[in-house]
Amino acid sequence: MTPVLRAGPVSQGRFEALGILVRVEEDRAFADIALEHALEKARLETREAALCTEIVYGTLRWQRQLDWRLAPYLRRPLARLDPWVRMLLRLTAYQLLFLDRIPRWAAVDEAVSLARLKSRTPGPAEFVNAVLRSLTRAPAPPPLPESPAASAGVRWSFPDWLAARWIARYGRQEAEALMAALDERPPLTVRANTLRCSRDVLAARLRDEELVETRPTALAPEGLAVERGSPGRWRAFADGWCTVQDEASMLIARLVAPRPGDVVADTCAAPGTKATHLAQLMDNRGVIIAMDPQAARLRLVAKSATRLGLTIVECHTGPVETLAKGWRGRCDRVLVDAPCSNLGVLRRNPEVKWRRTEDDLRRLQQKQRAILAAAASLAKPGGRLVYATCSLEPEENEDVVRPFLEGHPDWHIDPPAEFPVAADALGIVRLLPHVHGTDGFSAIRLRRLASA
């Protein structure tokens, strides 16, 4: 029998959410992976699993604002409390301030029961009860900071440094629109495997078998936005008819524009969504050289290719800087989906905004420059390369590509003539969450001179 069952009135969803949030903060676990493992192990009912998911992502997404609302009722900062007490206060504050369907008394009572379950002494439960009941009686939120960046950071729950740089770049109104979009729950989108079905046929099958409604995505011709569901449990998914992928990510393989029979390198391939999309666009003819330094994650590429019925994906473990010599000058197309800050995908990975610093952007830039230089050596004369990140930050995009072009005169920018999202003056295609309703992505297409 689990501790939750012994606890009687404690909701399993809240119990699991508390454990996940502590692991995310203390062990720097990724929330999506911790959540997946916890839900699989606990085997929660659908309703409790949905509650757990909502609490985990919502608490991480709105962490700063929750801390700001809790602070007036604490005698010492949240940071000095035991991690589980801190997280219990945050997750309950999230329910009180952001979820309409949970009665306040029920949220507070559950928090007190959880505190009793976690501690053998009454102190933590009494403390949690006092703080949360004070919060429920609060007449109004505390005043916002005077600084524009801090004020926006509190209201949209972002760190000051990120709010400040986006206000400086976009202006206050657009920066706040961007932060608001990154606070939204992301849609569930899937890519139809057009080697096995059309998008319309997939939509009909999902409606008939899973009773879920879908709508075509606006920018990616293979994409469907799904109202709800767990794709991993669908028969269509098991049959290789679709894979989960954000719409912005789907556009990256289309920017590469591979042809059937091409030799294509995906230099940072795991977990394989773009590599399998490239193979799909090539009609499963040619070769995809899928490279990645992490063997465990690279196995996900092979697993996904097998499920989708793709036979042209070759997996090679190692960094492109090491593997490049084996394919130098042999590739028609090269994709660099560079490791980055992930600041464009905060709606899916909200914990990232509490971990990143501006120093990370400079640190990552050095690695990104090395990867781009190595990847470019794979391309044939006349070959094409797409450099992409799920980040909107200049340090990780134009500041990486510009020095590369300055040092490699045989390469030039090759913007697409027709594309769902036009390239900007620098030749960069930018997918903006508050404009396009997608994850945030930046991508630039380059071509090597045919005479090189």
Q: What positions carry a catalytic annotation?
A: 390
Alpha carbon distances (Å) from 320 to 263, 290, 294, 368, 450: 16, 10, 12, 11, 23
106-119 b/e (C-beta count within 10 Å ≥ 16 → b) = ebbebbbbbbbbbb
**In whole angstroms, what is the distance from residue 417 CA to residue 406 CA?**
24
- Residue 295: CB atoms within 10 Å: 11
Residue 335 corresponds to which tokens in the numbers above? 């994709």
**In whole angstroms, what is the distance from residue 123 CA to residue 120 CA?**
9
Question: Do the bridges between strand 428-431 and strand 313-317 make them parallel or antiparallel, or are there none, so unpaired?
Answer: unpaired
Q: Do 62 and 347 touch, CB atoms closer than 8 A?
A: no
Residue keyed to tokens 């028609």: 332
Long-range contacts of the stretch 17-22 (C-beta < 8 A, 24+): 17/51, 17/52, 17/55, 17/56, 17/59, 17/91, 18/84, 18/87, 18/88, 18/91, 18/114, 20/52, 20/56, 21/56, 21/59, 21/60, 21/87, 21/90, 21/91, 22/83, 22/84, 22/87
**In whole angstroms, what is the distance from residue 21 CA to residue 90 CA?**
10
Question: Do the bridges between strand 428-431 and strand 441-448 make them parallel or antiparallel, or are there none, so unpaired?
Answer: antiparallel
Backbone angles phi, psi at 13, to 5 degrees: -60, -45
Residue 326 corresponds to which tokens in the numbers above? 């084996």
**In whole angstroms, what is the distance from residue 269 CA to residue 317 CA?**
10
